[in-house]
Amino acid sequence: MAVHAHPDDESSKGAATMARYVAEGVDVLVVTCTGGERGDILNPAMDRPEIRADIGAVREREMAAAREILGVQQRWLGFVDSGFPEGDPLPPLPEGCFARQPLEVAAEPLVRAVREFRPHVILTYDENGGYPHPDHVKTHEVSVEAFEAAGDPDRYPGTGEPWQPLKLYYHLTFHKERFTAENDAMIAAGLESPYAELLASWVDKPITWEITTKVACADHFATRDRALLAHATQIDPDGPWFACPLEVKREAWPTEDYHLARSLVDTELPEDDLFAGVRERVCL
């Protein structure tokens, strides 16, 4: 189970990993917490009045296309996008949005989904949301809550039979080591790197989460790109997502990376499989 804040997040974080496991016969469910109703239109070609007027429905159709490409199941939690507040001072978040929900209200439908789908592994964001969008931070909070509560029969009564997931991971998608490797590979190939400015301005911070798990999934990068492009309001085909050629990405950084945040099974770090330790447990 991969828990995400908005439609398109599933395609930009962990999509090739999911495509790999689907190809191996694993059942994968994407849980989307909000409808992305307050998201900006980031592809200039899609910035039209009729799309802006119906953005929620458009993003729902984009999500349907992306999940078909990835081969995953998908479930909406039904909360309303909080938007990304900007300004100084920051404006208050909209009334009734996802980020303003009490934790137990926001987590209840996710606990229900966990108990129904019965995942062994859950993917989500770290405590900063990967980046500090209020919906991403809330997604982290409800994911941790669901991981810890879904197996307790005394919590969230009426949401199904208890089920305890075995591992919880945080996405570590955008990190300096990866961008440096892709930058160096493009230069070595005689190409102009799109990452020079990014790396020059990169501010090193204390490492909060180490990479514990690298999932080899380069054979599914093309599927990831097709899923991204399905989110046409969010992804500009001429934008930075696709500035580094696929063959360079496959060679320079052929994995998607994670931090193992919780584990109820024995596993040896570093890992190359999200199900390390799980396969041994469930196949006994």
Task: Write down the CATH superfamily of domain 2-173+255-282.
Answer: LmbE-like (3.40.50.10320)
Confidence at residue 196, expressed as pLDDT on a 0 to 100 scale: 85
What pLDDT, on a 0 to 100 scale, did the predictor assign at position 207? 67
Phi, psi of 240 (to 5 degrees): -70, -20
Task: Give the tokens for residue 235.
Answer: 């992804």
Can you give 195-243 as a three-state secondary structure string?
CHHHHHCCCCCCCCCCCCEEEECHHHHHHHHHHHHHCCCCCCCCCHHHC
Cα 235 from Cα 11, distance rounded (Å):
10
CA 45 from centre of chain: 25
Q: What's the pTM? A: 0.96
The total number of residues written for the chain in this structure: 284
Identify which of 170, 156, 91, 186 has the alpha carbon closest to the alpha carbon of residue 123: 170
Residue list for the binding site: 6, 9, 136
Residues 276, 268 contacting (CB under 8 angstroms): yes
**Binding-site residues for Zn(2+):** 6, 9, 136
Which stretches of the chain score pLDDT less than 70? 205-207, 284
pLDDT value at position 262? 98
Output the CA torsion 44→198→254→275 (10° steps).
-90
127 Cα distance to chain centroid: 13
Walk across the sheet containing 73-79 and list its strands. 73-79, 29-34, 2-4, 121-124, 167-171, 255-263, 213-216
Give φ, ψ of 51 to 5 degrees: -75, -45
Indicate the domain borders of the chain: 2-173+255-282
